[in-house]
Amino acid sequence: MFVPRPHLCDVLKREQRRLHLLCAPAGFGKTALLREYLKGVATPGRVVWLSLGGRLQTLDSLTGMLAGELDLALDTAADALLGYFSSRDGVTDLSPSQASQLPQGNAIECGSWLASDEALAGSENLTIRVVFDDLPAAMPADLNQWFDQLLALQNPNLQVLVTCRQRPDWNLPHLVLTGELLELDARQLALRPDEFESLVSLQVPEIDTVSREKLWHQTGGWCAGVRLLPCALLDPYLEREWLSRLSDGQQEMLNGLAHLSKASVDLCDQLWEGQQGAHVFQSLLDSQAFLFPIDNQPGWFRLLPAVAQALQSRLSGAPLNRLRLRACQLLSVLGKVDDAVEQALSADQPEMAATYMERLWLSWILSERHLGRFMDWRERIEPQLLQSSPRLIYLSGRALLFSGRLSEAEECLHRLGHFLPLPDPQRSRRLLANWQGLYGTLQALRGNTEQARLHCHASLRHLTAQDWLSVLLCHCTLARIAMKTGELTEAQVLLEHSLELARRQGSRDAEALVNTDRVRLLMLQGHLGMAQSLLRSELAQLTGSRTQPYPLLGRLMFLQGELLLQQGHTVEAEQVVQGGLLQVRDCCAPFVLDAYLLLSEIASRNDDIEQAHLLLYEAERRMHWGKIDSVCYQRPIALQKARILDRERGADSDKPSVACVTSVPDYQDGLTTREVSVLKLLAEGMSVREVGHRLFISVNTVKTHAKNINVKLGACRRTQAINSAKAMGILA
């Protein structure tokens, strides 16, 4: 089952270097890619293919094999072979018709393709490409030296192509400096999402969406894993193609690493103390043992989930429990407290897990998929342990607020009050200030604006520099309230303060969170170009080379989808939102609702009313599944249903459908009687001054009402507000 890789073939064709090195674990399609590339090569020349199968080689065995394929004497000296390759006269032509004779399938042993005598007439200085497929991991020094000499030859028509599972011990830095090396590793060779979809559709077309997403994240685009995991054939493949090549020490370490979420040289050195743990781990890294770098954590690696799952049954019982408990201690010392919690829970030690949880910073919850992990821990730890200290209660309360579980958050806040007052007055003031910040956020989410403002301002008076994130979150809460009430200048000042604070603390996640609100503010101010620019910048910085789902990235992608939809780019908007949903897989937070509202609106605009309603049903189901408070989702869903109904009525009466802007629930509110009066007159085509004269109010008051109307209807312009009001039945 072959999946074309045209973008990689284009890279190989474009970057004509002396050495093309494809270095990745088994099953990443290295051989298939070279076959595809060589079939499409336009420049004439000769191809010599040696399939080495990872078998040990000596200088004599490899050069003898190569000499045979070049129709030279089998005992041709290694130096003589170098002389042959340095000569520009030894290269013969490969005609286009003979390109079809390149090896097929996976059973390639070796091969040499030569042109006919007629094709050779007049041919000079033609390219010779020598392929060493599945180079062995370890080679003797004299063979490595011969390869260095081969790669240093001054023949511009010689190209060497190598596939291997471990970087060879050659003078690669020199080739990098001279621009003669093109290297593709597992990250470049992994299937892209579109290639993954093509392969899965061919392999298991009946697979459901949830299983498809799980397969993607388990395999990370590893071609062999995608093909074999659904068929339950991965274990024997790994044994034959990989594990059989490893030492006993390497296999023992891998059996342990399969149960750890991450590993480093230092961790392995101490976990396998006395067994040369650091050396064994480094040898696994060198041998491409499916250990991949973790985003933004230099020196830390994780085993590919599909491989880890396949190996986990090899270690169990008391030995596994001892490994977990030892890993708890070492991970906490190395600053990986969250992983220590996970290992403690896996070792059935909830008291130890709760102790480690107290060491977590509030900023940790903002990062990556940590909110989901924290909420999962709450389900696995007894409530009395989570209520044993103000720190744990505060962390739980903040996590519950972020998750939209407002009633549970309020219960947490009441328990926090039981620890007041503390013996130390300063600590007591800080605890109370943090409590008020949480309570202010809670009231804001429930729509109690004045109480929210009161508590947030009171909190800010007593929070210290140590509580910088609580300060930032209070500012963001106040900014959202200001946007809701049309006080956009105040919102801008608050968000600028928050942005500066996040940057001074070096928190990239907090900065991205603030910038989501800044994008929203720019949209409300009508500065769509600036909003797009800021959003593109944030997406570029967060995307990078991430291999794991990232909910904050998904949140930004939903915002990008909304901007695209406002501009009428329906297809692009849907693609971006669907991509964002992949980033929030298993995430339980209210902002996930935005994706379903947008997709429902897109389906409605495409006259797929049934799908529009199904998406709202799915949104509601996901909110229920996440135990999210109804105040966070009921009204936005009701408004979207009203838009769909209006569009249905318009279609039934042969009227053009109304193009509504999907709005974000945080900023929606009902219009006052005065605002409805202003909107009706504006809809009649009156200017701001004319509306003021009609209602006996000032021009500035009319402008303020207009801003409030835009905020509440999620619109950026007067025409959008009028259309939205018509869709919701506010205007006839």
Q: What is the mean pLDDT of residues 278-283?
A: 95
pLDDT at 121 over 60: no
539 φ, ψ to 5°?
-65, -40
Q: With cut-offs at 50, 70 and 90, classify the pLDDT of residue 421.
A: confident
Q: What is the mean pLDDT of residues 365-382?
A: 86
Residue of 667, 354, 366, 692 whose CA lies nearest to 542: 366
For the residues 193-205, what does the mean pLDDT come to? 87
String of b and e for 523-532 (b: at least 16 CB within 10 Å)?
A: bbbbeeeebb
Take residue 475 and report the two structure tokens written for it: 């500012």
On the question of a cis peptide bond just before residue 421, with omega within 30 degrees of 0, the verdict is yes
Q: How far separated are the first and last CA of the chain, in Å rounded?
A: 59
Q: Residue 658: is its pLDDT beyond 80?
A: no
Lowest mean pLDDT segment, chosen from 31-45, 469-483, 641-655: 641-655
Q: How many CB atoms lie within 10 A of CB 366?
A: 23
Q: H helices within 204-273, ranges in order?
A: 209-219, 223-228, 234-241, 248-257, 265-271
pLDDT of residue 369: 77
Give the per-residue pLDDT at 214: 86
- Kindly write down the DSSP assignment for every residue of 284-348, as one continuous string: HHHTT-SEEEPTT-TT-EEE-HHHHHHHGGGS-HHHHHHHHHHHHHHHHHTT-HHHHHHHHHHTT
Closest CA to 484 of 661, 664, 630, 641: 664
pLDDT at 265 > cutoff 90:
yes
The CATH architecture assigned to 670-727 reads Orthogonal Bundle (1.10)
High-pLDDT (> 90) share of the chain, %? 60
* pLDDT tens, residue by residue, 606-620: 999 999 999 999 999
- How large is the average pLDDT for residues 308-317? 95
Q: What's the chain's average pLDDT? A: 86
Lowest mean pLDDT among 22-26, 204-208, 403-407, 584-588: 584-588
pLDDT band of 519, cuts 50, 70, 90: very high
- Average pLDDT value for residue range 671-679: 83
Phi-psi region of 162 (alpha: psi -120 to 50; beta: other; left: phi over 0): beta
Percentage of residues in the chain with pLDDT exceeding 70?
90
Give the mean model confidence (pLDDT) for residues 635-661: 69
pLDDT tier at 213, thresholds 50, 70, 90: confident
Mean pLDDT within 461-484: 94
Residue 679 contacts residue 634 (beta carbons within 8 Å): no
64 versus 365: the higher-pLDDT residue is: 64
Q: How far apart are CA 628 and CA 143, in angstroms?
A: 64
572-591: buried (b, 16+ CB within 10 Å) or exposed (e) per residue?
ebbebbebbbbbbbebbbbb
The fold of the 420-540 domain, in CATH, is: 1.25.40
Whether residue 501 contacts residue 472, with contact meaning beta carbons closer than 8 Å, is answered with yes
The tens digit of pLDDT for each residue in 392-420 reads: 999 999 999 999 999 999 999 888 878 87
Single-letter amino acid, residue 355: T
Q: Where in the chain is the domain with CATH 1.10.10.10?
A: 670-727
**Residue 367 · residue 505 · CB < 8 Å:** no
Answer yes or no: is pLDDT of 320 > 50.
Answer: yes
What pLDDT, on a 0 to 100 scale, did the predictor assign at position 547? 61
pLDDT at 544: 65
Residue type present at position 478: L
Is the model more confident about 695 or about 533?
533
186 pLDDT above the threshold of 50 = yes
332 pLDDT band, cuts 50/70/90, is very high
Greatest alpha-carbon span in the chain: 105
- pLDDT number for residue 102: 38
Look up the pTM and report it: 0.73
In whole angstroms, give the CA distance from residue 524 to residue 521: 5
pLDDT per position as a tens digit, 61-108: 999 999 999 888 888 899 999 999 987 544 443 333 433 433 433 333
In this prediction, residue 651 has a pLDDT band, given cuts at 50, 70 and 90, of low
Greater model confidence, 422 or 264:
264
Each residue of 580-604: pLDDT tens digit?
988 887 777 899 999 999 999 999 9
What mean pLDDT do residues 547-576 have?
A: 90
Q: Is the pLDDT of residue 711 over 80?
A: no
Q: Is 425 exposed, middle or buried (0-12, 13-18, 19+ CB in 10 A)?
A: exposed
What are the start and end residues of each CATH 1.25.40.10 domain in the chain?
420-540
Backbone angles phi, psi at 130, to 5 degrees: -110, 120
Please tell me the CATH superfamily of domain 6-189, with its number.
Answer: P-loop containing nucleotide triphosphate hydrolases (3.40.50.300)
Contact 95, 28 (CB under 8 A): no
Is the pLDDT reported for residue 538 higher than 60? Answer: yes
Residue 456: its H or E element:
helix 449-460
